Structure 1
Amino acid sequence: MNVFQKLFPFLALLSFLLFIGVVWKDYDRPYLEYQRKFKALLDLKAAGASRPAEFRFGIRQRWIKELGIADRCETCHLGLEDPRFKDDPQPFKTHPAIAEHSYETFGCTMCHGGQGMATTLQDAHGPTENWYRAIYQDKFMENSCSQCHGESIQNQAPVLYRGQTMFYEYGCRGCHKVGTKPRTEIGPPLDEMAKRVKTDWMYRFLKSPKSYLPLTKMPDPLFSPQEAADVAAFLLQGPGPEGTVIPGDPALGKTAFLESGCLACHTVNGEGGDVGPDLSGVSSKNYPERLFKIIKDPTALWPEGKMPVLGIPDQDIRNIVAFLTQECTGPALDKSTVAGQDQLVRNASKDRGRELVVKQGCIGCHAKIEGVTEIGELGPDLTTFGAVHISFLDFGHLKVPVKDRTVPTWIYYKVKSPRIFKEGLKMPDYYFNEEESVAITTYILGLKGKEIPASYILPLGKRP
């Protein structure tokens, strides 16, 4: 008897066991365990009924012809339409508000994401290889609303609407294209800056914008001290303030300031509105000559600005300038600190400053930067970014579990901490909090560029 003959019985047994394993795997699908559990719950809820609960084991599939979607989610999510399961855990829990978005019209993955044809938890929910849409976390769910409702969304999808609003209010369009939406410069023009602001203030503001204006929409460019000095030197080239302002009376200026209703829009030392910038430290920023011009005719300096021409008499304006100069000085700085910052800017390189202004895409938010003709829009086009495949996104040195390596997670981290993935990235930091980051992520996820049948495109609250 040769070696093969001796091994043959064992090989035959092994082959038989492998065959049985394959057959059993095909027979005892993972979803059957869920269905057996659901059947037991169904029997309990039907106890006392005149006839036993009916239940069919097997795959359940919906084909949404208009959308080209085939969903098998109900193979496991078995209680979606049964109100008796409203308090049960997933995957049997009743789906809320189903009347407005019926399964027959929308299916499941149209709104929830995930791989509709899959019948295992991992493949259906993702992330999984070669399938870009893992199921959306609840906090990002509203991104799908924009597919049918576009940008008519407001309080019925509050997270998406907030993200959409913030995206444009914070000037994201200045760096990122979104379809054919026009770019709007949300920041003031930066021409003739040497006539407008003080050198030490410019340096400090570039280093930390929110230290001066906590509610500013300008992000932190994360400049090093030398980079901030270089950019300040470039922006402040040119002649200084012109003429002089005849000194006014601070006491009368305070009265004129209050009677003119300035606190309706501006805050001073914690009191007032937030439509316009906080003026608590305005004299540390602007020269008196500039303050006079701003108050007299703000539209001449920045036509796109919101501040109206108030028609205040010149002498009252001089008094207001005197009041602001005396009372709105901001945090006290010792003379040596101010002198050191001035000297750092004077010794800085204007050429390096220009390179940084171009590299950071400052023109995307600020018009009229002397010596800069580039148009901004340096960031990636976001028109269809919500449909990007995860393989195009790199988490860099950030340690993220495989199950969380999804497109929503990547966008969220990028929005919340733009340079978290690696050194050398250009996007500035807005210091968005958790809710703000979720909202903007939700809006970007909704930018899929996907064509939806015309019958589905309706204002929010109306049904197809």
Structure 2
Amino acid sequence: MTSRQILTGLFFGSTVGLVLLLAVAVWRELSPEWGPYQTAYAKLLAQNTGKRPPLWTPLEVKQIYLPQLGRTDRCTTCHLGVANPAMQNAPQPFRTHPDYLTHPVEEFGCTICHGGQGMAVTKRDAHGFVKHWERPLLPAPMLAAACTSCHTPGPGVVEPTPTVSHETWKPLAGTERLVRGKQLFDRLGCIGCHAVRGWGGPVSTDLATVAYKGLDEFDFRYVQGPHTAVQWNLEHFQHPQTVNPGDPAAKVPPTPMPDYALTDDEAMDLTALVFSFWHEEVPSKYRVAAVTDETPADAPDQPLSPTARGRAVFQKYGCVGCHGTDGRGGVKNPNAATGGEVPPLTYVAQGFTTDQLKQLIRAGRYPTKADPRGPTPPLWMPTWKDKLSDEELDAVTAYLVSLYPPDTAVPGQEVR
């Protein structure tokens, strides 16, 4: 075969290849993945409105351009009925959005609340479950977490900073999961170890950073479900030591977070709350302030006693998270010389005067290792000198002393 014949063969072969590639490109352009959705929507809309279905449906990418939010959303290319009341009972992706009147899609778009990849026009890419996309579509039970991007929360609702006041706030409609999560967050004393935007304990992660951590910062080796930030946190709440077992070879202990035997709903409530601590930056016109209740309830008739006030402070600052309910202890602290647990507070009056106890609370302390060659116990007593007021310190000390069993003599020195 001559060189001319070889060149001619290569020319024809490459020409056929180019024609085939062109044909595939034209076919993909004329038959996009979203095309059947628009055809089906047109027929369903005609059926719901009593009109004749169109003989032909022009296909087009629909786009919501929102420069003020820094995004372009093409979700309505498939979710065509979001603002059409005639589609309230339609199947997804054609159903009317339940809040389309209060959250107009042309003003808010979709991804500011739902997550996902707004510019994409294929289902998998748009929902964001693809490599290198950090904010995939939020599961339906998690949607309340996005409300705090615009809605300013109030104490007792979704505000992370605890409060001892009796002021009540109107729960924002649709954020019931966050309200339950906040109540659980306070009851378990999470703020004792975890800060939220700098307020709280320094023992572990600031929870306001969790929602925007990159996926490469999570260890998914022990996660059973999808490898997303939401799923990691959900399983971590359900089985903390399974998801974060530590590394004995590197002397890294398991997570000290207790296994609270949470139900699935409780784990989801806490996950939604944690993700609500971080929010998108939005222009001021999108901000909506929380509304106070006109009739605050449960205000005490008489001022709280020092002991009752101290118990409220103990709960407020999350002491219960390490020391247990009513200071009974039992929280695991691997390799701590105190039996591998955080010590109970029931008998602190036996070993400390009130002045010594106050000094210990102010200064904090690190536990002694049970095995000097083993890992450092992950839980320690933070310093509280810059967080507790003198009144709070007096109150919580009075509460701790009150935990000593009644009618029990204190050996040694008197608590004063």
TM-score class, shorter-chain normalisation, is 0.5 to 0.7
Q: Structure 1 residue aligned with 2:217, among 365, 379, 392?
A: 392
Instruction: Report if aligned partners of 1:142, 1:160 keep a CA contact under 8 Å in 2.
Output: yes
Q: For residue 240 of structure 2, what is the aligned residue in structure 1? A: 418
Q: For residue 434 of structure 1, what is the aligned residue in structure 2? A: 264
Q: Where do 1:13-24 residues align within 5 Å?
A: 13-24=16-27
Instruction: Report if aligned partners of 2:128, 2:136 keep a CA contact under 8 Å in 1.
Output: yes
Q: Structure 2 residue aligned with 1:86, among 74, 85, 88?
A: 88
Q: 1:41: how far off?
A: 2.0
Whole-Å separation in 2 of the counterparts to 1:445 and 1:422: 19
Instruction: Report if aligned partners of 1:167, 1:440 keep a CA contact under 8 Å in 2.
Output: yes
Q: 1:97: how far off?
A: 2.4
> Is 1:130 aligned to 2:148, yes or no?
no
Q: Where do 1:263-412 residues align within 5 Å?
A: 377-400=202-225, 404-412=226-234
Q: Where do 1:16-35 residues align within 5 Å?
A: 16-35=19-38
Q: Structure 1 residue aligned with 2:104, among 96, 102, 105?
A: 102
Q: For residue 443 of structure 1, what is the aligned residue in structure 2? A: 273
Q: 1:55: how far off?
A: 6.2
Q: For residue 177 of structure 2, what is the aligned residue in structure 1? A: 159
3-state DSSP class of the match of 2:143?
helix
Q: Which has the larger radius of gyration?
A: 1
Q: 1:460: how far off?
A: 5.3
Instruction: Report if aligned partners of 2:223, 2:243 keep a CA contact under 8 Å in 1.
Output: yes
Whole-Å separation in 2 of the counterparts to 1:155 and 1:433: 24
Q: 1:64: how far off?
A: 2.3
3-state DSSP class of the match of 2:72?
strand
Whole-Å separation in 2 of the counterparts to 1:442 and 1:115: 20
3-state DSSP class of the match of 1:26?
helix
> Is 1:171 aligned to 2:173, yes or no?
no
- The one-letter code of the counterpart of 1:70 is T
- The one-letter code of the counterpart of 2:75 is C
- The one-letter code of the counterpart of 1:166 is L
Q: Unaligned 5+ residue runs, structure 2? A: 158-170, 247-253, 293-416
Whole-Å separation in 1 of the counterparts to 2:114 and 2:184: 24
Whole-Å separation in 1 of the counterparts to 2:291 and 2:139: 23
> Is 1:456 aligned to 2:278, yes or no?
no
Q: Once structures 1 and 2 are overlaid, which stretch shifts more, 412-421 or 132-141? A: 412-421
Q: What is the CA deviation profile of residues 17-76 of structure 1, one whole-angstrom value per residue up to 9, with x for unaligned ones?
A: 122112322332211121122122233334447x96996521111122322221111111
Q: 1:84 to 1:55 in 2, by over 3 A?
A: farther
Q: 1:172: how far off?
A: 1.1
> Is 1:142 aligned to 2:144, yes or no?
yes
Instruction: Report if aligned partners of 1:80, 1:95 keep a CA contact under 8 Å in 2.
Output: yes
Q: Unaligned 5+ residue runs, structure 1? A: 184-375
When the two chains are superposed, the root-mean-square deviation of aligned CA atoms in Å is 2.6
The structure with higher relative contact order (CA 8 Å, sep 6+) is 1
Number of residue-to-residue matches in the alignment? 265
- The one-letter code of the counterpart of 1:448 is W
Instruction: Report if aligned partners of 1:396, 1:422 keep a CA contact under 8 Å in 2.
Output: no
Q: What is the CA deviation profile of residues 122-142 of structure 1, one whole-angstrom value per residue up to 9, with x for unaligned ones?
A: 111022222211111111110
Q: 1:70 to 1:460 in 2, by over 3 A?
A: farther
More helix by share: 1
Whole-Å separation in 2 of the counterparts to 1:93 and 1:460: 30
- The one-letter code of the counterpart of 2:122 is T
Q: 1:88 to 1:68 in 2, by over 3 A?
A: same
Whole-Å separation in 1 of the counterparts to 2:101 and 2:57: 23
Q: 1:450 to 1:155 in 2, by over 3 A?
A: closer
Instruction: Report if aligned partners of 1:46, 1:52 keep a CA contact under 8 Å in 2.
Output: no
TM-score, normalized by length of structure 2?
Answer: 0.58
Q: What is the CA deviation profile of residues 87-110 of structure 1, one whole-angstrom value per residue up to 9, with x for unaligned ones?
A: 221111111122121113211111
Q: 1:168: how far off?
A: 2.6
